[in-house]
Amino acid sequence: MAKEGIKTIVQNRKARHDYFIEETIEAGIELKGTEVKSLRLGRANLKDSYATIKNGEVFIVGMHISPYEMGNRFNHDPLRPKKLLLHRYEINKLMGYVQQKGLTIVPLSLYFKKGKVKVELAVAKGKKLYDKREAIAKKAAQREIDRRMKDYMR
């Protein structure tokens, strides 16, 4: 994302490899002070994280934000579930997707937008092994086509 006022902190490349992305949605995230400072240093990991809905609220589970080095006793648990800030109609929409067979909510990226931390969530369907192989083969074929076109243009 190279849009105005957006600075990407971390992306979840594994999610795009492991899932078919059906729809994306932007959400705010409720953080403590030292977590924001740690994110400004780019110290986060979205690998193996997902979002869940409990009591009408959406939480991100498994997202690791490293403790801030200068934070001493004010640091927080790096793996604590973090509440996502969404409108009621967005939560209801996500609940509808999750209740369908095989759909889950995964974070794709974490970024600053106008000084606020945002999460790009995706409603996703898991890929089978043969789907992953097919995607890798398509990528390799496209790379070969691009390489040949580049050589041809010289």
- How much is the pTM? 0.77
From CA 130, how far away is CA 126, in angstroms rounded?
A: 12
State percent of the chain over pLDDT 70. 96
Angle at CA of residue 54, ends 117 and 106, nearest 5°: 50
Residue 145 lies in a domain: no
Q: In this structure, is residue 138 part of a structural domain?
A: no
Is 141 contained in some domain?
no
Q: What is the per-residue pLDDT across 111-142, written as a single tens digit (0 to 9) for each?
A: 999 889 999 999 998 888 777 888 888 889 99
Task: Give the range of the structural domain holding residue 12, as residue numbers without chain letter.
Answer: 6-127
User: Does residue 133 sit within a domain?
Assistant: no
CATH number for the domain harbouring residue 24: 2.40.280.10
The pLDDT of residue 68 is: 83
Tell whether 11 is covered by a domain: yes
pLDDT of 57 over the 90 cut: yes
Ramachandran category for residue 88: left, alpha or beta (phi over 0 → left; psi -120 to 50 → alpha):
alpha
The reply to whether 150 falls in a domain is no
Q: Is 149 domain-assigned? A: no
Q: Which residues pair with 57 in a beta bridge?
A: 54
- For residue 58 the two structure tokens come to 């959406």
Q: Report how many domains make up the chain.
A: 1
Is 139 a member of any domain?
no
